[in-house]
Structure 1
Amino acid sequence: MTNPLKPEVGGASRRDFLKTTTVAAGVAAAASLFPSGVHAAGNDAIRVGLIGCGGRGTGAADNVLHSAPNVSIVALADAFGDRLKDCLNFLTSKAAQEDRVKELGNKVEIPKERCFVGLDAYQKLIEQSDVNYIILATPPGFRPYHLRAAVESGKTIFTEKPVATDAPGIRVVLEAAKNSEAKGQHIVSGTQRRHQLGYLESMKRIHDGEMGDVTSGRAYWNQGVLWFKPHTKDQTEVQYQMRNWYNFPWLCGDQIVEQHIHNLDVINWGIGSHPIRATGMGGRQRSVPNPEDYGVIFDHFATDYEYANGVHVQSMCRQIDGCHNDVSEALVGTKGQWRSGGYNLNGKPAITKEQEKGAQDPYVQEHTDLIEAVRSGKPLNELNRVAESTMTCILGRMSNYTGKSLTWEQALNSKEQLMPEPSKLDWNTELPKWAVAVPGKTPFA
């Protein structure tokens, strides 16, 4: 498969291309620092349907209620009824009690007939004619297939990151991205640093050449153990693994995909492209009381990413208690360097403390930007870009799991399918006997 992810910049230089795209994003964010600033050609009603009512989905629904006026949440879908009920109670309480939500005139209006439960709940919600704005926030393994259905509907989409857990899933997303662009759909992804003022101003200045040409970089997400859910006697294996989704690569993608995507997305943004090769070494060695509860994911990854212009980036992510923690990005150039902490560019902050304090929460801003684009008719579609960042992470995981140095093309063309088509999945499906990968023994497929 050829590489459909690389941006086409025609005869312009990469720096000119980056300057144009970053300035455009910066203008959009600067024009909408506060939800009350939404002044579009119309004030069309945004009627939100949420697919995936866990912590991130509930959070995203809360964010959209704070993002712009004339927004209503009208439908919910989840595989599990208890998650949907908890989400409904939380959002109903927020709408009734939060002054900002009431000030914007936003509502939660979810009748029983628009609450959908089960593995096919996403289809039922997408089919609702009353929904025109879909939030996709299920475990990432489902994302390619939910995206495909949402794109077919022609509705506005906010999709959480990552957008796949394997290369076949990425290929589904790429086709969906192509179709969405042909339709002129508006799509934003949950890589919220792309909507965060400090990052936007940093990237604008980097692409303007203040740091010179990028020569190297680093990306870290090092923290303690995250979470797990124990297996209960009443659960089938599918129910258990979906409840404990973070600890199984078919659903989560592992930390390097599900979490570290934020950092690697920033690196790709700064360099202006995706890597061409990854060489990694990782494993699993933390001591926990019940190892089986932590599925088959690694607890540490270290990856050297090589880019087409000879730039190498050091990537590390880890989830082990009692260690030094660091969540950050940095780029080094021929004339200086940038660090994400304080948005420090060549020794000075890219934005002032006052600007940082006044900027809107990026988790809210990404919805503000999407709604403004819908109401103004301006194009905004991030699906291809988040597919590129997701594939960057999958490439790194493949290299760490196998111990092989792998190219972008090898990874993108991989036949290893972790996630089955949702239509072939039910609560009693017999899942593969997953095992923790062993570098040097686990084959690349």
Structure 2
Amino acid sequence: MISRRIPVSLTGALWALAAQASQAVGSFLIMALAARTLEIEELGKLGVLYGVLVLCAATTSGFVGDSLTVLDRSGRRLRAGMQLWLLTLSCACGVLVPTISFAIGFVSGVEALLLGLAVAAYLVEDVLRRLLMAHLGFARIVVMDLSVTCVALSMVWLQNVNGHPSLTGYLAAIACGQSAGIVVGAALVPRPDRYLVRFRGADWNAVAAYGSWRAAQQMLRPGLMTAMRLALMILVTLAATGQLEIARIYAAPAMLFVGGISSYLFAAYAKNRASTVAALLAQADRALLIVLGITATGAAVALWALPVAGPLATGQTPDFLAVAGWLAYAASVAIVSPYGALAAIKGSAKRVFALRLADTLVSLACVVLILHLTGDFALAPWAAALGSALGGTAIRLLLLVPLKRDEMQKAHISPPYERQSGTHV
């Protein structure tokens, strides 16, 4: 029998939003201070580097974080495989990213060293957050994120007191903040998961079989953001990258809200994976309508308050069209997130990645085309929103609806019964 509703904890959802907010607010404060204290070219550089950092985190978040959420991490061999992949990926990213950045002349030697430390610490800290998330321990994540923010802001404050802030100082602040988060997060992990195992016999193939596709999918959105920034640098100017970053900073709360709900839904779907696709899909549909409604209301308020709130948040007035574009992009992410998370639990991670890759390529092509034709940086997020919205629709129609139909056929449930159960979509 198909359940009418799946219990969703309002308290859990609120704490999930708080956990997303605590991380996003920390990043927002750092970038807002950077917008006020760095030159526009240095701000553009920091935006690119931070985008690369988030892209690297998406790798471990999907590869290791999603694996420990969905797979049985109590098994010693699987747990060893997860540990081994985290060590491998964090070390590889911590070396390759700064080396390439230095080799192409994008950063100095000192900046490259600090960038490497920041990347490695960020990846480990992010997986600890995912471990707490797997326990639905969102309140503990808030404590962890506050420690990151306090240490990083203290470093930035010392820069302002002792001299002129620089890109080097901001990279040092990020590295120290993430390191503090690792210490606090390790102490907050529930006792059953507060241990390491030997690498001997690590089943990293099983982890890779699931995690590789999730990592590839997790990389798509930050990869699109990084590609968009690079396209702006090449087709327009580095200053335009900084201007778009200012608009993104102002619109960040919208993405924070969407991301928080998405994080909670993924963890909740994993906990309720034994439930039917029909029931989970009905929940995803309801979540989508609620998230879109709240996002649209927040967007209207943000645009109305822009002349006053913009200078307060960033030190200058962000471009109206660019802010509206980022808000539209947040709405497009709201369309894809619930269905993508559900498909990752119930469907094929490989097929989800294929659809998400297609919508990302559509978005990137639209961005490059619009920048080439107009040179207007404010239109870039509008172009990116197109593919994302199409991706969410495709996942629902091409993956989830067929899964639901197959499930009903196996259970010998007729469509009239489905309509009576209240799960018709």
TM-score scaled by length of structure 2? 0.28
Higher helix share: 2
Higher strand share: 1
TM-score scaled by length of structure 1? 0.27
